[in-house]
Structure 1
Amino acid sequence: VSTSDDAISPVVESVNWREGQGVAHCSGAASLDVLEAAQAQGASPGAFHPMQAFSSVENGVLSIPGITFGIEGDAEMREYLSAIAADIGGNPVFLEAKDKVLYHVSGVMMGNLLTCLVGISAEVWEHFGYTRDEGVKALVPMMRAIAYNVETSGIPAAVAGPYPRGDLGTATKHVEALQSNLPKLLPLYRELALASLHLAVEQGLSAEQESEFRRILAGSNDD
């Protein structure tokens, strides 16, 4: 069942199920409870969620190989759904009901919210004479490189920029530029920069540098 989350239960309720059948939804956040109508008639419930962002059918087909599928269900459903994932080039992970929402949070942060971050970063280009589309064109190669670096070098080694380098002066300039031109962007920049400090420390940033960065970023707090 690959409908929107709110439509899963109504769709399942509209079908006559029987013992020996299985039914799986493709939601990343919904529990197996949405399949209760099928289970009550003897069908085995399961979940089969692709951890991927699909913008179109064509792109979706091309982007399936290598992705992770979050799978729920009893032993038989897990085995069956794992085989489907393997057949289409995917990697199965097994989820418990209590972990499902956090699993989905991870996907939304990487997929939906990362897309928003790209949009926001590209819009900064509008403040020095370019369009958002031109900003996207400039940033996409960096996105590809970041994904490659994360995949090949791992975290925190893939983290780059002024924070792991200890460039205090650059961080100060960032804060000043945002205060003057894009003050509404400061809270987001600050929180992301603080998160990057955690990884920068893993790379070897000194305690003194971390403390100074935190002082600079605290000065950007206009909440």
Structure 2
Amino acid sequence: MPQSIDQLKSIETWVFDLDNTLYCATTNLFGQIDLRMKSFISGFLKVEPNEAFKIQKKYFREYGTTLRGLMDRHEVNPKEFLDYVHDIDLRKLKANPILDKALKKLNGQKIIFTNADVGHTLRVIERLGISHHFTDIYDIVASNYIPKPQPEAYQMFVKKFELNPKLTVMFEDIAGNLKPAADIGMTTVWVRTNTQWGQESSKGKHVHHEIDNLTTWLNNIVSLY
């Protein structure tokens, strides 16, 4: 398992989470999504916003995503939910030419593995100016709504793209989502955030690298080539 920076030059596949990973969490885009999830639940279940927020977080912790809980407990239409919660203002998201250059120099295929959907993913990476670097997007629909960190989602992902986990690196802002990746042999990189859910399980051996800024770290990697 390549865990030193020098050994990472042998990697064949680079797997990136989307939100709070490919862009900095300080943009607070997920804060908008969070509010829209609460709004959707409040309207759909006809409960007060405070109660909707409790349900939202309860399902996130129990099911991996709020959506999975809503589907299992309340038969929510997933497309309606995803369309609603991802209808957000992306103006704070700016093109990142430094990340663009780093991804261009990074050897190997690059895939996005996200609990969001393709539509939201494309809007984000187009705003960042990096959409042309990714060979594929594996979203929550592709995984049959089985979210990270469910091990089955990772097994399906590896099978679909015929990956060698030992030659694959995964980047995530939620440390707990890296455990199934490490369990099947991937090298893991935790992009630190100040969110409680992102930090949970961050002290385990499944986190091989901890970084504060994806762009800076990738530039260090490509400088070795």
For normalisation by structure 2, the TM-score amounts to 0.24
RCO higher in structure (CA 8 A, sep ≥6)? 2
For normalisation by structure 1, the TM-score amounts to 0.25
The structure with the largest alpha-carbon Rg is 1
